[in-house]
């Protein structure tokens, strides 16, 4: 045996003698572990995924953006200031002077106009955020116009609430791209789309260094960034799918920040003095969608009873363990006009009374389509137990995310347990999803949440449509309050929790900003 052990020992000794890896990451390099397998494009006119939006927020400047100190206050980005015409339809933006793209080209009103027109013309998934203001490929030249080198004007089809229009411009589609550079890379009139899917053409604090899907993303400092060059020369983002691996790397100091830890990993890190755990509330909501095509779920008493069958505090404390807080209205906390009331608590007796009133004292059987990932699947199991307390026999149908979603969008579910993230930081994004269903026919073009659950709401449609046109901020907030209360009291939606991102970072890291939406995550202030 000794003969075989010898080479092993020699190998072990040799290996131990090799230089050890870095104990700490270098001072001007920020290393992050993040699951970014959702990125399918790097073109801001197409980006609509969580990680993609985060990338765009750090590589591109938008016309206007949110203050990193207070994520409800709008501040200028590429636009230094803006004004609204008398009729409430024309917004005039004064372009900030002296800004440069990564290529060295100056940022002008022409670039800003090109960028917005490009979103409309390419018509990719997030284009509706702009086209909802009446822009079409035919009218963009006329409606999105350059007055002079430093002034851009956009004209909406109706006089919308100004906060609504401006909030939409803070979304990723409001990113300003380098027109000159894209025109060099244009093929077959694609406005550089094919090229930009894997390259960058922005003016933001960082430029794209290396991009390897599902593996590595390296951003490099933009030295002439208008707010001042970031302290970090490089941001290295590694796709680490396994949370336990992320934790090991963080503890070892091979990364500065881990973004996808589960409750087990976080618990294990709480006592580590080198690590700081932070919680950042996000806009995504956990909710149940009750298909109104199912005659039992269409009964108002049943819809109400289910609201009493969720152990809100129990779930927030155990299964979500910091990854969610109880929230029962469709506008997430941190957004304009969010309703913080929570009228429902776990009350099986009340639920049984309501079911008896509906003639279902014996309970009923129902299925729930569940995405087969944590924590959704765990959440479903707890609901199965609490529903049973009122005699409801819940059958869980687990499936891959794409599979359950396909079924949900075909309205073939009974109950769907979902996580819904807002598209941009304005209450209308969720009002339009939860409280607007202008066409409930099976072949409706708009498959929003109210439609998916077959909910006919002519009354609420009118309120939702009025709210986007209300120019008085206080009145607008009141309308959203009314809508949220209506959906909360009786709708096919049982809104339960608002998600919270848990960030684990090394103690020496400061300035990493994670705002309420996925496109308000900023690396530019990071120092070590």
Partner 1 sequence: MISVALTFLGLLFVTFIIARVIPVDPVLAAVGERASADVYAAVRAELGLDLPLYEQFARYLANVFQGDLGQSVLTAKPVLADIARVFPATLELATTATLLGVGLGIPLGVIAAVNRDRWADHVIRVFGLMGYSVPVFWLGLVGLLVFYAELGWVGGPGRLDVFYEGVIESRTGLILVDSLIAGDLEIFSNALRHIVLPAAVLGYFSLAYISRMTRSLMLDQLTQEYITTARIKGLSERRVIWVHALGNVRVPLITVIALSYASLLEGSVLTETVFAWPGLGLYITNSLFAADMNAVLGGTIVVGALFIGINLFSDLLYRLFDPRVR
**21 in contact with partner 1 (CB under 8 A):** yes
**5 in contact with partner 1 (CB under 8 A):** no
Single out the residue of 48, 93, 287, 308 in contact with partner 1 (rule: CB under 8 A): 48
Footprint (CB under 8 A) of partner 1, residues 149-168: none
Kindly tell me which of 135 and 344 has the beta carbon lying closer to partner 1. 135
Joined tokens for residue 280: 């950042």
Binding segment for partner 1 among 9-17, 270-278, 388-396, 496-504 (CB under 8 A)? 9-17
Least distance between partner 1 and beta carbon 37 (Å): 5
Footprint (CB under 8 A) of partner 1, residues 345-364: none
Least distance between partner 1 and beta carbon 8 (Å): 8
Single out the residue of 81, 83, 187, 198 in contact with partner 1 (rule: CB under 8 A): 198
The candidate with the shortest Cα–Cα distance to 59, out of 73, 72, 75, 47, is 47
Per-residue x/- marks for partner 1, 229-248, CB under 8 A? -------x-xxxxx-xx--x
Binding segment for partner 1 among 221-229, 341-349, 398-406, 492-500 (CB under 8 A)? 398-406
Single out the residue of 72, 403, 440, 461 in contact with partner 1 (rule: CB under 8 A): 403
Footprint (CB under 8 A) of partner 1, residues 468-497: none
Footprint (CB under 8 A) of partner 1, residues 420-449: 423, 445-446
Binding segment for partner 1 among 70-78, 151-159, 207-215, 302-310 (CB under 8 A)? 207-215
Please tell me what DSSP assigns to residue 125: G
Least distance between partner 1 and beta carbon 471 (Å): 27
**Rounded Cα–Cα distance for residues 210 and 263 (Å):** 32
The candidate with the shortest Cα–Cα distance to 202, out of 225, 183, 218, 230, is 225
Contacts of 518 (CB under 8 A, 6+ apart): 50, 51, 53, 54, 282, 421
The number of angstroms, rounded, from the C-alpha of 294 to the middle of its chain's C-alpha atoms is: 30
**29 in contact with partner 1 (CB under 8 A):** yes
Kindly tell me which of 77 and 427 has the beta carbon lying closer to partner 1. 427
Joined tokens for residue 165: 């229009």
Tell me the residue length of the chain: 528
Kindly tell me which of 236 and 479 has the beta carbon lying closer to partner 1. 236
The candidate with the shortest Cα–Cα distance to 60, out of 25, 112, 110, is 112
**Rounded Cα–Cα distance for residues 462 and 272 (Å):** 54
Q: Tell me whether residue 197 is exposed, middle or buried, using C-beta atoms within 10 angstroms of its C-beta: 0 to 12, 13 to 18, 19 or more.
A: middle
Give the DSSP letter string of 322-351. TSEEE--SSSPTTSTT----------HHHH
Q: Residues binding partner 1: what is the number (CB under 8 A)?
A: 58
**9 in contact with partner 1 (CB under 8 A):** no
The candidate with the shortest Cα–Cα distance to 473, out of 81, 159, 163, is 163
Least distance between partner 1 and beta carbon 160 (Å): 19
Residue 324: CA count within 13 A, CB half-sphere: 26
Least distance between partner 1 and beta carbon 249 (Å): 6
Contacts of 464 (CB under 8 A, 6+ apart): 428, 431, 432, 435, 436, 483
Least distance between partner 1 and beta carbon 23 (Å): 9
Binding segment for partner 1 among 138-146, 193-201, 389-397, 473-481 (CB under 8 A)? 193-201
**Rounded Cα–Cα distance for residues 515 and 520 (Å):** 5
The candidate with the shortest Cα–Cα distance to 479, out of 489, 469, 488, is 469
**136 in contact with partner 1 (CB under 8 A):** no
Footprint (CB under 8 A) of partner 1, residues 49-78: 49
Single out the residue of 227, 278, 393, 409 in contact with partner 1 (rule: CB under 8 A): 409
**4 in contact with partner 1 (CB under 8 A):** yes
Residue 49: CB atoms within 10 A of its CB come to: 19
**527 has which bridge partners?**
510
**Rounded Cα–Cα distance for residues 63 and 119 (Å):** 14
Footprint (CB under 8 A) of partner 1, residues 246-305: 248-249, 251-252, 254
Which residue reads 């095509």 in tokens?
Answer: 293
Binding segment for partner 1 among 154-162, 174-182, 206-214, 503-511 (CB under 8 A)? 206-214
Residue 110: CB atoms within 10 A of its CB come to: 15
Cα dist from 445 to 375, 451, 488, whole Å: 31, 10, 26
Kindly tell me which of 29 and 396 has the beta carbon lying closer to partner 1. 29
Single out the residue of 212, 227, 462, 510 in contact with partner 1 (rule: CB under 8 A): 212
Single out the residue of 26, 300, 314, 343 in contact with partner 1 (rule: CB under 8 A): 26
Footprint (CB under 8 A) of partner 1, residues 105-134: 123-128
**Rounded Cα–Cα distance for residues 522 and 170 (Å):** 14
- Residues 470, 471, 477: CA angle, nearest 5 degrees: 60
Binding segment for partner 1 among 149-157, 321-329, 395-403, 502-510 (CB under 8 A)? 395-403
Kindly tell me which of 91 and 451 has the beta carbon lying closer to partner 1. 451
Residues that bind partner 1 (CB under 8 A): 1, 4, 12, 15-16, 18-22, 26, 29, 31, 37, 40-41, 48-49, 123-128, 194, 197-198, 210, 212-216, 218, 236, 238-242, 244-245, 248-249, 251-252, 254, 400-403, 405-407, 409, 423, 445-446
């Amino acid at each position: 045996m000794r003969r075989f052990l010898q080479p092993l020992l020699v190998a072990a000794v040799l290996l131990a003698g090799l230089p050890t890896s870095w104990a700490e990451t270098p001072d001007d390099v920020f290393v992050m572990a993040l699951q970014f397998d959702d990125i399918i494009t790097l073109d801001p006119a197409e980006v609509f995924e969580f990680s993609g939006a985060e990338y765009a927020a750090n590589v591109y400047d938008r016309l206007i953006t949110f203050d990193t100190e207070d994520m409800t206050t709008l501040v200028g980005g590429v636009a230094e200031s803006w004004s609204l015409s008398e009729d409430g339809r024309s917004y005039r933006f004064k372009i900030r002077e002296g800004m440069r793209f990564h290529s060295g080209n100056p940022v002008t009103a022409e670039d800003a106009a090109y960028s917005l027109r490009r979103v409309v013309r390419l018509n990719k998934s997030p284009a509706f955020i702009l086209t909802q203001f009446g822009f079409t490929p035919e009218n963009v030249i006329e409606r999105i116009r350059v007055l002079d080198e430093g002034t851009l004007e956009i004209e909406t089809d109706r006089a919308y609430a100004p906060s609504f229009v401006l909030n939409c411009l803070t979304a990723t589609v409001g990113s300003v791209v380098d027109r000159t550079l894209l025109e060099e890379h244009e093929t077959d009139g694609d406005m550089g789309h094919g090229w930009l899917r894997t390259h960058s053409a922005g003016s933001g604090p960082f430029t794209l260094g290396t991009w390897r899907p599902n593996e590595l993303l390296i951003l490099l400092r933009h030295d002439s960034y208008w707010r001042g060059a970031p302290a970090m020369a490089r941001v290295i983002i590694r796709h680490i799918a396994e949370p336990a691996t992320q934790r090991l790397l963080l503890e070892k100091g091979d990364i500065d920040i881990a973004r996808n830890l589960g409750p087990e990993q976080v618990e294990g890190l709480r006592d580590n003095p080198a690590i700081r755990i932070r919680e950042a509330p996000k806009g995504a909501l956990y909710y149940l969608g009750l298909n109104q095509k199912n005659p039992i779920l269409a009964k108002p008493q049943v819809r109400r009873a289910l609201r009493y069958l969720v152990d809100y505090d129990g779930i927030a404390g155990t299964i979500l363990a910091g990854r969610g807080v109880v929230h029962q209205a469709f506008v997430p906390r941190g957004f304009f006009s969010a309703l913080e009331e929570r009228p429902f608590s776990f009350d099986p007796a009340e639920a049984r009374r309501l079911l008896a009133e509906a003639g279902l004292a014996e309970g009923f059987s129902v299925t729930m389509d569940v995405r087969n990932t944590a924590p959704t699947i765990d959440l479903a199991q707890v609901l199965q137990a609490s529903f049973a307390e009122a005699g409801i026999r819940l059958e869980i149908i687990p499936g891959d995310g794409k599979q359950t979603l396909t079924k949900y969008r075909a309205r073939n579910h009974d109950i769907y347990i979902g996580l819904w993230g807002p598209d941009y930081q304005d209450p209308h994004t969720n009002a339009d999803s939860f409280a607007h269903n202008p066409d409930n026919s099976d072949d409706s073009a708009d498959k929003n949440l109210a439609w998916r659950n077959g909910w006919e709401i002519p009354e609420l449609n009118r309120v939702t449509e009025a709210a986007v046109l209300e120019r008085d901020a206080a009145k607008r907030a009141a309308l959203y309050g009314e809508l949220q209360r209506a959906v909360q009291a009786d709708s096919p939606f049982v809104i339960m929790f608002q998600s919270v991102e848990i960030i684990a970072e090394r103690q020496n890291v400061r300035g990493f900003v994670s705002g309420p939406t996925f496109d308000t995550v900023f690396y530019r202030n990071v120092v070590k």
